[in-house]
Amino acid sequence: MTSTPSTTATTPTLTPTTAVPAPLLRLVLTGFMGAGKSTIGRILAARLNWDFLDLDAHLEARTGATIPELFARHGEPRFRRLESTALVSALGRSSTVLALGGGTPEDLTNRLLLEQTPGTFTVFLDAPFPVLFDRCMLQDIARPVLEDPAAAQLRFGRRHPLYRRLAGLTIDTTDLSPEQTVEALLATVFPPGPSPYL
C-alpha cells in the first residue's frame, strides 16, 4: 500500500512506485468492481479537461450489446477477447482518463499493453473486498461475475497482486470520497511547481 490516509487532512500522502511518464498521455484507473473507477474517472477527466472513457461502455458501443448480454451469449472467454480488442482501441486515445473493467488486468496481454503503451500511467483504486462488495450492492449495475459472491471473493484475491504490480500508484479509497481520491491522485501525479508531464 503506498497511501497513508492522514487522520485530519483530507488529502493522503502518496508515493508513486514508478515514474509518471512525460509526456503523460493517458491515466488509467484499475481496481475491482466497486472501486469507483468510473465515478472517479469522470471527476478526474473533468478536472484535467480530458476525455473520459469507460472500457465497459466502449466495449458495449463497439459490439452493440450490454456486458450481461455478452456474457450470456458468448461466455466469459469470448467476453475477455472482446475486452482486449476494446483495450487496444482505447489505448490509442490521448488526453484521456480510461476506466478499465475489474477483470481487465487478469489477462497478461492486457497488462503488457498497459505497461508498454508510451505515455500511460495506471492508478490502482484499492479497498478491502467487503467494502467493495457492499458498494456494488448499492449500485444498479448488472455484473455477471458478482452473481456468486464466494467466487467473486476468490477473483479479488487472485487479482489484487496483479492490480498492485500493474499500477504506478495505489490509493486506498476505503475512507475517501471520490472527490478526495481525485485530489490525492492529482496532488501526486501533478505535484505543485512546473509540470514536466503536460
Q: Where do contacts with ligand S3P occur on this chain (CB under 6 A)?
A: 33, 37, 56, 67, 101-103, 143-145
Q: Which residues contact 51 (CB under 8 A, 6 or more apart)?
A: 45, 93, 95, 96, 97
- What is d(CA 139, CA 137) in angstroms, rounded to the nearest whole number? 5
Q: Phi/psi of residue 140, each to 5°?
A: -100, 60
- Asked if residue 156 lies in contact with residue 105, where contact means CB atoms within 8 angstroms, the answer is no
Q: Nearest approach, Cβ of 120 to ligand S3P (angstroms)?
A: 18
Q: Which is nearer to ligand S3P, 107 or 183 (CB)?
A: 107
Range 86-90 contact pairs with CB under 8 angstroms and sequence separation of 24 or more: 86/55, 86/58, 86/59, 86/62, 87/55, 87/113, 87/114, 88/113, 89/58, 89/62, 90/53, 90/55, 90/58
* Grid coordinates of 164: 498492485
Q: Which is nearer to ligand S3P, 20 or 83 (CB)?
A: 83
Q: Nearest approach, Cβ of 148 to ligand S3P (angstroms)?
A: 12
Q: Nearest approach, Cβ of 31 to ligand S3P (angstroms)?
A: 7
Candidates 103, 97, 95; CA nearest to 162 is 103
* Grid coordinates of 62: 463497439
Q: Which is nearer to ligand S3P, 20 or 54 (CB)?
A: 54
Q: Which is nearer to ligand S3P, 21 or 144 (CB)?
A: 144
Q: Which is nearer to ligand S3P, 60 or 183 (CB)?
A: 60
Q: Are strands 13-14 and 3-4 parallel, antiparallel or unpaired?
A: antiparallel
Q: Which is nearer to ligand S3P, 33 or 53 (CB)?
A: 33
Q: Nearest approach, Cβ of 112 to ligand S3P (angstroms)?
A: 19
Q: Nearest approach, Cβ of 33 to ligand S3P (angstroms)?
A: 4
Q: Nearest approach, Cβ of 138 to ligand S3P (angstroms)?
A: 13
